[in-house]
Every structure is written in structure tokens, then in C-alpha cells.
Amino acid sequence: MFDFEFVKKFEAEDVNKEYIPMKITSSYRSFRIYLILFFCFFVYTSRGESFLSRDSVQHNKDFTYVVTGSLFLGGGFLAHCADHNYSQNKSFFFPHESSTLDDIGRWIPELTRIGFHLAGVKSRSDWMRIVNSRMFAYGVNVGVTEGLKRIIRQERPDGSDFKSTPSGHAAMAFMSAAILDEEYGYVSPFVTLGGYAVSTAIAYDRTRGNHHYAGDVILGTGIGLLAAKAGYQLCDWILKGRGKRVMKGDDQSPFLSDHPSFLGIYGGYGMSLNNLRSRTGGNLSQLGALQVGLEGACYPSHYFGLGGRITEGRWLLKQQGQTVPAWIDRLTALGGIYTSVPLNNSAYMGGKLLGGYSIQTGGRSQSRNLGINTLEGATFATGVFGGYTFRKNLDLRCQLDYEMVCSRHQTLHYLCPAIGLNFFF
């Protein structure tokens, strides 16, 4: 019934180590304890003067790190639970794709930081602070990611090993982006935005290359962000705040623009609200997917604007509770109306009503083997969001989007909680 030529059948001799399935009562308990200890360590190191400082600019920045990292950490754990159930029932491997670009790309934020230093651009830290904070952050990052990999022992989608959760590439990329932001974010908002855009692309490509599930990279993102902040806080605690420079704009409190036009990136967890209907009978469900995209809007007035977004995601499929070697890659382009209402001088909330088109960019032949027609067509979306301006021209946004994809043979419904970073202009 299915075409299995593009996958490898699971054979025990292909695995170097004997696979021991994860037991919920033991490994998951260790998993939760490990995450709790890491978060407690982060909170403890964050008790330094800078975190408790009355300075609103520094407080906003630290608050943003804590909230964002915590949301990704919790969201990654919840997504991993679904990924684990899927992996346990899988008797095949998805095709392996080269990770050379990912291996190089995760270091782009770090290489950019080094490039600024070689160009003579002054960083926020002297050499002593940057070396020590980088060393501490790297130690926390590697310790947590490698520790969890050995506790969880989640098999990768391509079957290469049992180190899928969490994603070390995502953790390293976002840790490097956070360090770049800390040292040179004052130069331009696009330094911060660019670093996180590269990290987001690397995280998504890890799922496209079948190296990780969605929950793996979401969890890795949270670990990377919190590890970077923990490294700086631990360094400042040891050095007692020495080596930290005050840069131009550090004393400027962030505030909302009268016309909140924005351009930004976002990532979220897309959840299907209904099943796919097969021509051969029966229904197929979709595993939650990592969705990433670009979004922007121009506000001619204070409350209303016109804009749009481009989003891509990958959904793995299950049929009658059993995993199948098929997936759906979907690219969506939407445009429409945005609204925004300020809550105070640094926070706002709003909504959007969008329309556009979705195309299936991958997994066509595999889904056809399951009796599923190409899933593309007119798409409509709406959503609500709330934002917090933590630095001049930069804000953190949490949003909840609903999408309806009207393909030729069926209508699909999706819900996607997401976090975005936006540049206001």
C-alpha cells in the first residue's frame, strides 16, 4: 500500500547500542528533576545586583530573558511528550539529510561577535568578563544538553543515534545569539534581530533535515537562552560586577512608538485541530510542528495597520495511531489588517485578520501514497498578540494564531502559540 523505498527498515544490528525504551516512571522523573535543577540554578545566579536593580532598562532586558527562556523550556517539554510517543511507535527512519550548513550556521552569531571585536567596535564587556561569561555559559549549555541527551535517549527521526532531545545545535545557536545581543545589541536593533533570525533558521532546518523533532529544538532554544544569561550572572557574581561597561543608550527607557510599525521573526508550535481524510478510507492525524516565519506591518495610524507574514512548517503523519513514513511541508503567505492598542508606555495588545494562500512544498509523493491529495489552497487566519518593549525599537511578542487552509478536497484547521522578536520603526 505504501512506498517504503525512501526509508530504511529498523534493524537491531544497525544500532551500535542496545536501545532501552524510556520508562515514564524513571527517566521522565529524572528529566523533570534535571530541568528543575537547571532552572533553580538559573534563578539563583540571577539574584545578582543587575537582576534586582531598579534600573528599568536592565530589568526589562533580564525579564525578557527569563520569560522567553522559561516559555521555550516549558513548551519544549510539552512538545517532547508528543514527540516521544510518536518515536516509540516508529518502525522506520526518515531520510537523513546533510547537516554541514547547520554545523557552520550555529556559529554565525559567535563569528559575528568576533568580527565586531576585530573591527574595533567596543563591546559591553571587557576581555575578562566576556571570556569568563562565555566559558560559564558554554559549560552550563553543554552540561544541560548532554546530560538530558543521556537521560532521555530519544532516537532521532533519521535513526542515526539516540541523542535527539534536546537539540544541541539550537541551544548553541541561541546561546551565541544571546551573547551577541548582550555585547553588541546596542549598536543596532538589527544586530539582535539578525542573530536570532539565523538561530531560528538553524533550529527549523534541524527539523527539515530529520535530525530532530519539533520539541527538541524548542527545548534547546530555551536552554540556550537561559544558559547565556546564567553565564553572565554567574560571572558578575564572581567578579562582583567588574568589567561591565555602560554603553550609549543604556539609560534610555524603552517606549512605544506613536505608529507601531514593525518587522520581525517568530517561531511557534503548530497544532492541527482536525484529521486528514484519505481516499483509501480512514483518517490521519498530524504531529505538532515547529512553525517559523517573518511578519511585519505598517501602521499609518496609532491603532490600525496593513501587513502580512510568511510561514513554513513541517507536520509528520500518523494513521490510526500508527506512525507512517510521510510528512507535509507547508509554506503560507498571508496579508491583511492589524490592530494595536497600547496598555502603557511599554506594553500593548492587538489582533489581526489575514488572508492568502498555502502551498505544499514537501512530502507530496509520500502523502499521495497514503491517499492524501495535495494540501494547498486559500488560507485565512486570525490571532491575538501581546507585546512588551524591552529596549528601544525592540519588543518581545507572544501570540496565538488560528489558520484555516481550504484545500480542494478538505479544510484544515490549525492553532499556533508563538513567540516573536520585532523591530519597531
CATH of the domain at 349: 2.40.160.20
Q: State mean pLDDT over 87-108.
A: 78
Contact (CB, 8 A) for 293 and 401: no
CA distance 81 to 32: 12
Q: Is residue 305 part of a domain?
A: yes
Asked whether the predicted pLDDT for residue 32 surpasses 90, the reply is no
Residues 65 and 203 in one domain: yes
Last residue of a domain, one of 239, 254, 274: 239
Per-residue pLDDT for 295 more than 60? yes
Q: Determine the Cα–Cα distance for residues 268 and 398; give it in Å rounded to an integer.
A: 10
Is 161 in the same domain as 294?
Answer: no
My answer on whether 305 and 373 are in the same domain is yes
The confidence band for 110, taking pLDDT boundaries of 50, 70 and 90, is: very high
Tell me what pLDDT residue 103 has: 84
* pLDDT band with cut points at 50, 70 and 90 for residue 250: low
Instruction: Name which residue leads in pLDDT, 338 or 3.
Output: 338
Comparing 17 with 225, which gets the higher pLDDT? 225
Q: Is residue 248 part of a domain?
A: no
Please check whether residue 344 lies inside any domain of the structure: yes
Most confident of 44-53, 245-254, 308-317: 308-317
Percent of the chain with pLDDT over 70: 82
pLDDT confidence of residue 24: 38
Q: Name the pLDDT band for 65 (thresholds 50, 70, 90).
A: confident
| 268 DSSP β-pair partners | 291, 418
Q: Are residues 271 and 224 in the same domain?
A: no
Amino acid at residue number 255? F
**Residue 30 reports pLDDT greater than 70:** no
**How crowded is residue 311: how many other Cβ atoms within 10 Å of its Cβ?**
26
Are residue 205 and residue 338 in the same domain, yes or no? no
Instruction: Give the per-residue pLDDT at 8.
Output: 39
DSSP character at residue 373: -
Residues sharing a CB contact under 8 Å with residue 248, sequence separation 6 or more, in sequence order: 186
Point out the domain boundary residue: 224, 239, 254.
239
Question: How much helix, strand and coil, in percent to the nearest 5, is found in the chain?
Answer: 40, 30, 30
253, part of any domain: no
Element (H, E) at 105: helix 100-105
Q: Quick check: helix, strand or coil at residue 126? A: coil
Shared domain for 390 and 302, answered yes or no, is: yes
User: Hey, is 3 helix, strand or coil?
Assistant: coil
Give pLDDT, residue 373.
Answer: 84
The whole-number average pLDDT for the span 99-128 is 89
Q: What is the pLDDT of residue 261?
A: 92
The C-alpha atoms of residue 67 and residue 197 are separated, in whole angstroms, by 19
Q: How confident is the model at residue 385 (pLDDT cuts 50, 70, 90)?
A: very high
Q: Is residue 246 part of a domain?
A: no
Report d(CA 223, CA 73) in Å as an integer.
Answer: 7
Instruction: Report whether pLDDT(96) > 70.
Output: yes
16 pLDDT band, cuts 50/70/90, is very low
Burial class (CB in 10 A: 0-12, 13-18, 19+), 336: middle
Say how many domains are in the chain: 2
For position 368, what pLDDT does the model report? 86
Q: Are residues 170 and 284 in the same domain?
A: no
| Model pLDDT, residue 176 | 95
Q: Examine the domain organization and report whether 187 and 302 are in the same domain.
A: no
Please report which confidence band the pLDDT of residue 97 belongs to, taking 50, 70 and 90 as the band edges.
confident
What pLDDT, in 10s, does the model give residues 125-151? 898 999 999 999 999 999 999 999 999
Q: Do 364 and 395 lie in a common domain?
A: yes
Looking at residue 27, what is its pLDDT?
A: 43
> For 258-307, what is the HEC assignment?
CCCCEEEEEEEEEEECCCEECCCCCEEEECCEEEEEEEEEECCCCCEEEE
The model's pLDDT over 172-230, given as tens digits with 9 standing for 90+, comes to 999 999 999 999 998 999 999 999 999 999 999 999 888 999 999 999 999 999 999 99
Quick one: 296 and 167 in the same domain?
Answer: no
| Mean pLDDT score, 70-90 | 83
Range of the domain at 282: 262-424
Instruction: Mark which of 187, 208, 239 sits at the end of a domain.
Output: 239
In a domain, 247, yes or no: no
Indicate the average pLDDT of the chain: 83
**Cα separation, 170 vs 202, whole angstroms:** 7
For residue 321, tell me if it sits in a domain: yes
CA distances from 36 to 71, 74, 112 (A): 14, 11, 33
- Cell numbers linked to 107: 556559529
In a shared domain, residues 24 and 138:
yes
In this prediction, residue 58 has a pLDDT band, given cuts at 50, 70 and 90, of: low
In a domain, 280, yes or no: yes
Least confident of 2-11, 235-244, 312-321: 2-11
Angle made by CA atoms 18, 22, 25, in degrees to the nearest 5? 140
Which has more pLDDT, 90 or 9?
Answer: 90
Q: Is the pLDDT of residue 51 over 50?
A: no
pLDDT confidence of residue 239: 87
Which sign does the torsion angle of CA 125, 127, 128, 132 carry?
Answer: positive
Q: Lowest-confidence range among 108-117, 314-323, 334-343?
A: 314-323
Residue percentage of the chain with pLDDT more than 90? 48
pLDDT score, position 61: 65
3 state SS of 121 = coil
- The arithmetic mean of pLDDT across residues 406-410, rounded, is 89
Same domain, residue pair 231 and 332: no
